[in-house]
Amino acid sequence: MKDTLKIADKTFTSRLFTGTGKFSNTRLMRESILASESELVTVALKRVDMDNESDDMLVHLKENHINLLPNTSGVRTAKEAVFAAQLAREALKTNWVKLEIHPDPKYLLPDPIETLKAAEELVKLGFVVMPYIHADPVLCKRLEEVGVQCVMPLGAPIGSNKGLKTNDFLEIIIEQSNVPVIVDAGIGAPSHAAFAMELGADAVLVNTAIAVSQNPVAMGKAFKMAVEAGRMAYNAKLAPVKKHAEASSPLTSFLN
């Protein structure tokens, strides 16, 4: 049986989701995304000209296997997020939205209160809501209760490349969640992505680490391989970590 990931009405073969910011040009962005084999790519609503069908970024993302995920980066309140999501739905013909509400423009840390409010409203309006949040297990459950289709807890501040600084909480979230858990933000190396997958995350979202690397195309592929390896390891059930050594040649075997 194929190990696919189902979110709402879509089934994904790849568990690597990617972004579109920070690339040196849209051609390179496209090549990198293709190399990563990502099937879900997030686009900042504020970066695209929604009235223009030949918007450079959108044109470069026109591929059958690539699903666009508009995000609300830039909004500061639930009210603004709901309005932005409705515009994106109309312009990009998708009811999927990555809900990002970070009133703090410095660290871009998500506002849990506004996010929960917006998520509840957007679900009622028929959106597939993917909320970007702090790694807060209780908030994840609250979001699940209002009907989001997945949760996207952060590993570290956006763009920091620091890896999974929140892994103790990610473990709890993964253990408790009834919806897919996608680790978003802070993943800076393929090894971080592999680690997230080994923990049991359903997918990861990576942008800066790919876009700002010396070779974004190769890095896109490296992340693809890391995510696959991490997922394979998770499915294969990692050997348990033990506090004491367990010799493969026991000292007392001579007694037998």
Partner 1 sequence: MKNTFRDTFDLYDWDTLEHDIYGFSEADVKNVLAKDKITLDDFKVLISPAATPFLEQMAQRSHELTKKRFGNTIQMYIPMYLSNECQNICTYCGFSMTNKIPRKTLSDAEILKEVAHIKSLGYDHILLVTGEANRTVGVSYLKHAIALVRNHFSNISIEVQPLDQEEYETLITEGLYAVLVYQETYHEATYKIHHPKGKKSNFNYRLDTPDRLGKAGIHKIGLGALFGLEDWRVDSFYTALHLKYLQKTYWKTKYSISFPRLRPHQGEVQPKVEMTDKDLVQLICAYRLLDEDVELSMSTRESETFRNHIIKLGITSISAESKTNPGGYAVEPQSLEQFEISDERSTDAIKEMIQSQGYEVVWKDWDRSYVNSF
Interface residues with partner 1 (CB under 8 A)? 21-26, 44-50, 74-77, 79-80, 83-84, 87, 103-107, 159, 161, 208, 211-212
Cβ proximity to partner 1, 47 vs 124, nearer residue: 47
186 is in an annotated binding site: yes
- Closest contact distance (angstroms) between CB of 78 and partner 1 is 9
- Closest contact distance (angstroms) between CB of 106 and partner 1 is 5
Cβ proximity to partner 1, 79 vs 124, nearer residue: 79
Relative orientation angle of helices 112-124 and 137-146, to the nearest 10 degrees: 20
Tell me if residue 46 is catalytic: no
Query: Could you tell me how many residues make up the chain?
Result: 256
Which residues are CB-neighbours of 134 under 8 A, at least 6 positions away? 109, 110, 112, 153, 154, 166
- Give me the catalytic one of 93, 98, 141, 242: 98
CB atoms < 10 A from the CB of 123, how many? 16
- Closest contact distance (angstroms) between CB of 114 and partner 1 is 11
Measure the CA–CA gap between 118 and 42, rounded to whole angstroms: 19
159 is in an annotated binding site: yes
208 is in an annotated binding site: yes
163 is in an annotated binding site: no
185 is in an annotated binding site: yes
- Residue 67: beta bridge partners? 40
Measure the CA–CA gap between 31 and 193, rounded to whole angstroms: 20
Nearest residue to 115 via CA among 94, 96, 129: 129
Cβ proximity to partner 1, 12 vs 223, nearer residue: 223
Cβ proximity to partner 1, 159 vs 180, nearer residue: 159
- Closest contact distance (angstroms) between CB of 86 and partner 1 is 9
Using DSSP's 3-state secondary structure scheme, residue 144 falls into helix
CB atoms < 10 A from the CB of 94, how many? 15
Q: What residue numbers does the annotated binding site for 1-deoxy-D-xylulose 5-phosphate cover?
A: 159, 185-186, 207-208
Q: What residue numbers does the annotated binding site cover?
A: 159, 185-186, 207-208
Catalytic residues: 98
